[in-house]
Chain A
Amino acid sequence: MTVFLLRRLLQAAGVVLVMSLLVFLGVYAIGDPIEILISPEADQIERERAIKALGLDLPLWQQYLVFLGNALRGDLGRSFVFNEPALRLILDRMPATLELAIGATLAALIIGLPLGLYAGLRPSSPVSKGILAGSILGFSLPTFWVGLMLIMVFAVQLGWLPSTGRGETVTILGMRWSFLTRDGLAHMLMPALNLSLFKISLVIRLTRAGVRETMLMDYVKFARAKGLSPARITFIHVFKNILIPVVTVVGLEFGGTIAFSVVTESVFAWPGMGKLIIDSINVLDRPVMVAYLMIIVLMFITINLLVDITYSLLDPRVRLEGKS
């Protein structure tokens, strides 16, 4: 176990290193680093001083080491626009994105699991076919357009829900959260649903396929032979078996959800990391872009690591048996 952990940690560190190199090359070698890192308003003397201070007169590999050293100390540069450390800027917006992504994940499970279960238990009913068609649509529909349609119907036409922003927030642990107030929740509902659209479809498909496969297993027939109620067979014997793979996939997808919140946050003007990065790209606030990229990479690697560890903690024989 320790060996396994160590190896995975080393691998993760390797990927971070590669990504940092890519980002470094992207920002420092392709673009003009002076333009990127020094405010355009600076005069000639300031520029010279800054170039010296930033070590831009050093050879490229030394610059990379400096960049790496700074990054390790948590210094990913300052935003030109906000004149704040890029890292802090992003961390400030992180709770908004996290709560949106978590909300979307929960919504995907809450909506997707029952629908998938139903479609799997009654594969030939018209309702199941409708569910399946819906999930195909969910894969095809561009997220941003669905977001617009949600706003059009529920905010503009019906006026039931607010269209943009986070609404009222509550501060806990120095971070602002929307999901604890009524107003905040109302603001969160549409964006979370929008972001979960793709995942709902994914959960429906996984659940449906899992249920259909599990229903054919001997142990389900044996459970029936024991005289258990249909409800117990469905919710304990079948459901518990499919929950593990579904939750794993949804967990792995969490990084993708955070990435995709870029779109949803832009549609609903949700002030998270995603909206920040789009705004930063539009004004070419490159330090923020770099910081965002590095944080996302770290997040991805952490999620993968966590999933891997969870997997190895669950006895592998349990999973082997379910398949054989």
Chain B
Amino acid sequence: MSAVPASAAPGAPTLEVRNLRTHFLTRAGVVKAVDDVSFTVRSGKVLGLVGESGSGKSVTGFSILGLVDPPGRIVGGQILFKGQDLATLSEEAMRKLRGNRIAMIFQDPMMTLNPVLRIDTQMIETVLAHARVSREEARQRARDALGQVGIASPDERLRSYPHQFSGGMRQRVAIAIALLHKPDVIVADEPTTALDVTIQGQILAEAQKLCAQTGTALVWITHDLSVVAGLADDIAVMYAGKVVENGPVEQVLDAPLHPYTLGLIGSVPSRNRRGEPLRQIPGMTPSMLNLPAGCAFRARCPRAEARCAEPPPFAEYRPGRFARCIHPHEEAVAA
């Protein structure tokens, strides 16, 4: 993607997360689940937020929606939605945005729909929460949304209970619910992880198409680099609560700056490297409870040196390419 000057309306970011910190004040200590996360998503674009399990992706998503439950709390940073800081918004104001201007899709479709309520109830209530329309009108919108995500005979489907649907169907319903108010931002938290590959492909293609059509900015959380490669415009790589690399997706995947990104790419099977053994990142994810000072990746990093005991800055090493490493890869590395 070409770099767009961040100034005028058409290219202005819909969502800009700046130095977000969300901590859990547990009895065992402070869990810095999100600790300095920054990224930007523009209208009609897709940002892939990747990182291994426990790196803080979901907490980032919940922070954007204002859905972090105690003992968790946003302790720093800004979440600028069209220039307005969501972190300082009142709960009631935030509720008016949720599901309306900012929607979220969850990881496990089997758990996101209420088992005792019919699909129409769960869809119509979403319409009525944000729009002053008649029930009939609300039902019509629900029907249209189901059609939009490719569900046949929506009228009949509306009268069903979630258990009458397969996982893929349920995720489509969840996506339809997210689309009801044509939101400006959708946060999709690993929405296809629980589904099989063909359905995953269909849903990805549909999501991409819908965003391009409606101009929705999409934050797609995943741990699967191949999904990001096919879907996203930009990528933000998270490690231990921090974004460690950020930039346009082709550039990052072709020439990663951060050793962790390189490790991630190396651990994905690829056609070009058939026959070679997959390269695992050595070591284990650090405990989020007491992270070492300095670079959190230090213990696993092949390029680590004494200076890495100091916290590395999140710096722009090339135009539009940020990394949190004092010793980044300078040129394209054969991955």
Give A residues with C-beta under 8 Å from B.
Answer: 217-229, 232, 236-237, 240-241, 244, 315, 317-318, 320-322, 324
Nearest residue in B to A223 (C-beta to C-beta)? B114
Nearest residue in A to B187 (C-beta to C-beta)? A225
Whether B110 and A227, one on each chain, are in contact in the complex, defined by CB atoms closer than 8 angstroms, is no
Query: Does B28 reach chain A (CB closer than 8 Å)?
Result: no
Nearest residue in B to A215 (C-beta to C-beta)? B69
* Shortest Cβ distance from residue A74 to the other chain B in the assembled complex, whole angstroms: 43
Complex contacts, A241 vs chain B, CB 8 Å: 114-116
Q: How far is the CA of A45 from the CA of B98 in the complex (A)?
A: 90
- Among A219, A227, A317, point to the contact of B99 (Cβ < 8 A): A227
Whether B67 and A221, one on each chain, are in contact in the complex, defined by CB atoms closer than 8 angstroms, is yes
- Among B116, B161, B177, point to the contact of A226 (Cβ < 8 A): B177
Complex contacts, A322 vs chain B, CB 8 Å: 115-116
Using A236-B125, A240-B116 as known contacts, say yes or no to A227 and B163 having CB atoms under 8 A apart. Answer: no
Interface size on B, residues (CB 8 A): 30
Using A227-B95, A228-B99 as known contacts, say yes or no to A218 and B129 having CB atoms under 8 A apart. Answer: no
Whether B97 and A219, one on each chain, are in contact in the complex, defined by CB atoms closer than 8 angstroms, is no
Q: Show 6 residue pairs from A and B whose CB-CB distance is below 8 angstroms, ordered by the A residue.
A: A222-B112, A226-B98, A227-B100, A229-B95, A236-B125, A244-B116
Complex contacts, B67 vs chain A, CB 8 Å: 221, 224-225
Q: How far is the CA of A232 from the CA of B108 in the complex (A)?
A: 23
Known: A218-B106, A236-B125. 12 other contacts (CB 8 A): A221-B106, A225-B99, A226-B99, A226-B129, A227-B96, A227-B100, A227-B130, A228-B129, A229-B95, A232-B129, A244-B116, A321-B110
Complex contacts, B174 vs chain A, CB 8 Å: 222
Q: How far is the CA of A226 from the CA of B95 in the complex (A)?
A: 8
Whether B163 and A318, one on each chain, are in contact in the complex, defined by CB atoms closer than 8 angstroms, is yes
Complex contacts, B96 vs chain A, CB 8 Å: 227
- Among B65, B126, B162, point to the contact of A228 (Cβ < 8 A): B126
Nearest residue in B to A224 (C-beta to C-beta)? B67
Query: Does B113 reach chain A (CB closer than 8 Å)?
Result: yes
Complex contacts, B108 vs chain A, CB 8 Å: 218
Complex contacts, B104 vs chain A, CB 8 Å: 222, 225
Q: How far is the CA of A9 from the CA of B110 in the complex (A)?
A: 36
